[in-house]
């Protein structure tokens, strides 16, 4: 029996991976996507758009979801088996959904959230075990403290507001709180940014020690990661079970510092290179270093090393295949970490070797 799945988003980094996985592993899924119809990143157009049942162009902040979905909502006996929301970044889009889509028109709402919600919660940062679990998502009672945390992390605040709005509607739900997501076609560019820089350092000084300046505030802090395909696998598994009304942190069991992350990428660039990565503490750092913390209670399917190796191999093959994405990272690296004129000339030669 076929399943009708409504996907809000579905053409970005995580959403597209999920859509592709669902299509590859289920012949009976009818996927209806609602998004702004931006298919310019990577090869998403050829991988995804031609394979789905329908893509409806809509900006959720401006347009009417009810009007966009009227063909489905007007059918008396029609019901979506699930709604998967990848594009809820502000609470108003969740409110709009429930104002425009009757609760009897879907069976379960799966919200893709973030571990950033914990940044606006009352966490004892001095407790012995800082690994967070789902019960830690409690805002401070003090309004002034809430306001302070909101100003420090507006993204986490808005994501938690989306969760709170969903819970208020008393419908069957699942919430996946994701840490930093790694994988091929990462729209944040973080992984390829780090990898390209490490490959450049090895090109410039083969076999040498590579010192990378990291803010002393972040130097030894650890964070959690999840492989993008594991997010897709978990969603696929949830669609095949009757699980509901749960909030889940998802990620690798191993939390990593920025030094661990860079060393693991280096390992798959060249064997032994991981032993030659040295992070040096400084007062300030590049914009691509961000405050981390571990937040995982549910481990995924993939092996950490295998996932990193797949990412490295993908981006090694991407230099010539994805020119637009590559040029964007080149520009960012020159702005942040490769500022010296002589280094930029060497960097140009480094890039050209992939384009011959």
The pLDDT tens digits of the residues spanning 1-38 come to 789 999 999 999 999 999 999 999 998 999 999 999 99
Q: Residues 97-100: contacts with CB within 8 Å, 24+ apart?
A: 97/8, 97/60, 97/65, 98/165, 98/169, 100/64, 100/65, 100/66, 100/69
CATH number of 3-181+225-249: 3.40.50.720
Q: For 70-118, how does the pLDDT look when each residue is reduced to its tens digit (9 = 90+)?
A: 999 999 999 999 999 999 999 999 999 999 999 999 999 999 999 999 8
Q: What is the mean pLDDT of the chain?
A: 90
Q: What is the pLDDT of residue 291?
A: 43
Query: pLDDT > 90: what percent of the chain?
Result: 72
Closest to 121 (Cα-Cα) out of 297, 298, 293: 293
Where in the chain do CATH 3.40.50.720 domains reside? 3-181+225-249
**Distance, C-alpha 51 to centroid of its chain:** 23
Q: What is the pLDDT of residue 140?
A: 87
pTM exceeds 0.85: yes
Q: For 156-198, how does the pLDDT look when each residue is reduced to its tens digit (9 = 90+)?
A: 999 999 999 999 999 999 999 999 999 999 988 999 999 999 9
Q: Are 220 and 214 in contact (CB under 8 A)?
A: no
Of 134-138, 221-225, 283-287, 324-328, the poorest mean pLDDT is in 283-287
* Helices 154-168 and 143-152: angle between axes, nearest 10 degrees: 120
What average pLDDT score do residues 228-243 get? 93
């Amino acid at each position: 029996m076929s399943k009708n799945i409504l996907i809000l988003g579905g053409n970005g980094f995580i959403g597209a991976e999920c859509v592709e996985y669902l299509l590859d592993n289920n012949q009976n899924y009818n996927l209806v996507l609602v998004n702004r119809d931006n298919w310019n990143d990577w090869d998403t157009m050829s991988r995804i758009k031609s394979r789905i049942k329908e893509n409806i162009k809509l900006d959720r902040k401006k347009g009417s979801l009810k009007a966009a979905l009227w063909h489905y909502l007007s059918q008396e006996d029609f019901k979506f088996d699930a709604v998967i929301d990848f594009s809820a970044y502000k609470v108003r889009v969740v409110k709009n959904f429930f104002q425009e889509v009757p609760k009897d028109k879907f069976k379960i709402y799966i919200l893709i959230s973030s571990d950033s919600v914990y940044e606006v919660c009352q966490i004892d940062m001095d407790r012995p075990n800082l690994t967070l679990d789902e019960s830690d998502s409690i805002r401070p009672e003090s309004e002034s403290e809430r306001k302070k945390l909101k100003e420090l992390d507006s993204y986490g605040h808005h994501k938690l507001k989306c969760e709170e709005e969903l819970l208020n509607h008393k419908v069957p739900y699942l919430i996946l709180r994701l840490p930093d997501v790694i994988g091929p076609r990462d729209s944040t560019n973080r992984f390829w940014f780090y990898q390209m820089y490490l490959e450049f350092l090895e090109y410039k000084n083969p076999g040498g020690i590579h010192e990378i300046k990291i803010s002393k505030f972040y130097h030894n802090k650890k964070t959690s990661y999840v492989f993008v395909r594991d997010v897709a696998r978990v969603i696929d598994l949830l669609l095949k079970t009757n699980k509901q009304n749960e909030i889940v942190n998802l990620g690798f069991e191993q939390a990593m510092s920025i030094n661990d992350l860079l060393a693991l990428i280096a390992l798959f660039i060249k064997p032994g290179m991981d032993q030659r990565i040295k992070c040096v503490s400084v007062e300030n750092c590049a914009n691509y270093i961000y405050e981390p913390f571990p937040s995982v209670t549910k481990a995924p399917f993939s092996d950490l090393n295998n996932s990193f190796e797949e990412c490295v191999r993908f981006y090694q093959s991407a230099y010539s295949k994805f020119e637009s994405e590559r040029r964007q990272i080149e520009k960012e690296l020159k702005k942040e970490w490769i500022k010296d004129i002589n280094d930029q000339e060497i960097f140009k030669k480094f890039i050209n070797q992939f384009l011959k």
